Amino acid sequence: MTTPSTTAGRSRSHALQTRAERFFPGGVNSPVRAFRAVGGAPPFVASAAGAWITDADGNRYVDYVGSWGPMILGHAFPPVVEAIERAARNSASYGASTAAEADLAERIAACYPALDKMRFVSSGTEATMSAIRLARAATGRKIIIKFEGCYHGHADGLLVKAGSGVATFGIPGSAGVPEEIARLTLALPYNDLAAVEAALAAHPDAIAAIILEPVVGNAGCIPPAPGYLAGLRALTAQHGALLIVDEVMTGFRVALGGACERYNLDPDLVTLGKIVGGGLPVGVFGGKRLLMDLLAPLGPVYQAGTLSGNPLAMAAGIATVSYLQEHAAEVYAKLESTAKTLAEGVAAEAAKAGVALTTNRVGAMWTWFFTPAPVRNYEEAAKSDTAAFGRFHRAMLDQGVWLPPSQFEAAFLSTAHGEGEIAATLAAVGEAFKAL
């Protein structure tokens, strides 16, 4: 393993960043990649395999980003690579239906009983905005409730107090979103049922849906309080609103059936992504048959996409989901065990170094918050010492460990992470804490 000790060891990446800034705002095609929240120059990736990622200068890192979640089986997992290669030989896209679409849908439905029907799209943003359009059509209502720090893509109405890069850059919303649209979104504190009850009472017969990340991943990892998700399900049913569970991040990660399985939740609509595409661009929205049959060509709600159900993405998704189904007991036991060992090891190193740290973890996703206090919502997450996280991130990168470049993003591991990777990570953590 080669690890750089300074950014001088990333001269090729620096040159590539300078070139990229000629073409892309900030030199990136997604804001968090610019490393503005943690400082330092972002390495440019050349390749990845298993639990390791290699930059343009040949430096190797243990990867805990995993393309922001989808690489649950590790990078370049051979069955997925082979499936993509086979599909590509027949053409990358047809703009027409293929058998592979229903093949993947059948596998997803087997893991998600709430999905009577579904539709493939090309991103999580498309999935959530389509689910909301459907919810408004089904209820005849306009207002959406979301939760502070939850990110559901960059559609206009969902950028109100969003997490992810919006939180990373300290932006309360986004320029370019008309007030008229923003007013149709109520942003409430996560894990606070009383706030939801009050909002529903204040807007009788006006709330179309509640949308949430069942485990927040875009303000850092924040699990639901006991009874919270069941309470939301009961409140939406009582008030005639729909419950949309955004499992773009948690789907197939926190359990084979995602958070719906883990927390015994039966939502009206579900959105999926990331793992479902095996690393290729895919989103899914689906739910109860009566709702989904409102979509064109059966109903009046229009939604379309030329690349929806793309054959390469379907092939990668089938290979990934079928592997998870066939090896579920082994896969999820290993993910849970490895993540627990890592979380407990880092907590021990923090205690040894006198570093104030709170770890939130659900399965194989977690966040190390630089605060001694519990983190149960975005307001508490925002009290973390982001400067300390930035120093920690830079020190870990120099020690050969690739972490999400924001205090407000969850980290992920894969089945490819083994004892060697965990040992290397804990050794790096010890050195990083010394640097703090």
Active-site residue identified among 151, 190, 323, 378:
151
The rounded distance, in Å, linking the Cα atoms of 418 and 290 is 45
Q: Which two tokens stand for residue 190?
A: 């996560």
Q: Beta-carbon neighbour count of residue 172 at 10 Å?
A: 11
> What angle is formed at CA 341 by the lines to CA 336 and CA 342, rounded to 5 degrees?
100
Q: Torsion angle of alpha carbons 102, 104, 110, 113, nearest 10°?
A: -70
Is residue 246 flagged as an active site residue?
Answer: yes
Handedness of CA 15, 21, 26, 32 (dihedral sign): negative
Contact 401, 173 (CB under 8 A): no
Q: How many CB atoms lie within 10 A of CB 88?
A: 12
263 has catalytic annotation: no
- The whole-angstrom separation of Cα 254 and Cα 364 is 7
d(CA 404, CA 406) in angstroms, rounded, equals 6
Catalytic residue chosen out of the listed positions 55, 274, 323, 398: 274
* Residues 196 and 145: beta-carbon distance below 8 Å: yes
Q: How far apart are CA 64 and CA 410, in angstroms?
A: 9
Query: Structure tokens of 314?
Result: 């379907």
Structure tokens at 120: 């493939």
Catalytic residue among 63, 246, 268, 385: 246
> What's the first-to-final CA gap in the chain, in angstroms?
24
| Residue type at position 433 | F
**121 CB contacts (<8 Å, ≥6 apart)?**
127, 130, 282, 283, 284, 285, 303, 305, 308
Angstrom distance (rounded) from CA 268 to CA 153? 19
Residue 151 annotated to the active site: yes
> Which residues are catalytically annotated?
151, 246, 274
